[in-house]
């Protein structure tokens, strides 16, 4: 079902492969963009207030 290259990674390091899949599922690109926009706005306001 999976490619032989992917199978080698699963056998060598199954936890890291599972974590990568979990992180990609939880933090899809639209959610990451949304988080970035919110944090960038907050940080920019801090920069404007402090002059840093």
Q: Is the Cβ–Cβ distance between 10 and 2 less than 8 Å?
A: yes
pLDDT-above-90 percentage for the chain? 4
Q: Given pLDDT bands bounded at 50, 70 and 90, which one contains residue 52?
A: low
Average pLDDT in the 9-27 region?
80
Q: Given pLDDT bands bounded at 50, 70 and 90, which one contains residue 13?
A: confident
Tens digit of each residue's pLDDT (9 = 90 or more) over 28-49: 888 888 988 999 988 887 777 7
- Please name the residue that has the structure tokens 């032989």: 4
Domain count, the chain: 1
List the domain range (segments joined by +) for residue 29.
4-50
């Amino acid at each position: 079902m999976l490619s032989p290259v992917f199978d080698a990674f699963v056998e060598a390091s199954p936890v890291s492969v599972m974590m990568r899949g979990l992180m990609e599922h939880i933090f899809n690109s639209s959610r990451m963009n949304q988080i970035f926009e919110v944090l960038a706005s907050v940080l920019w306001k801090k920069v404007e207030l402090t002059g840093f």
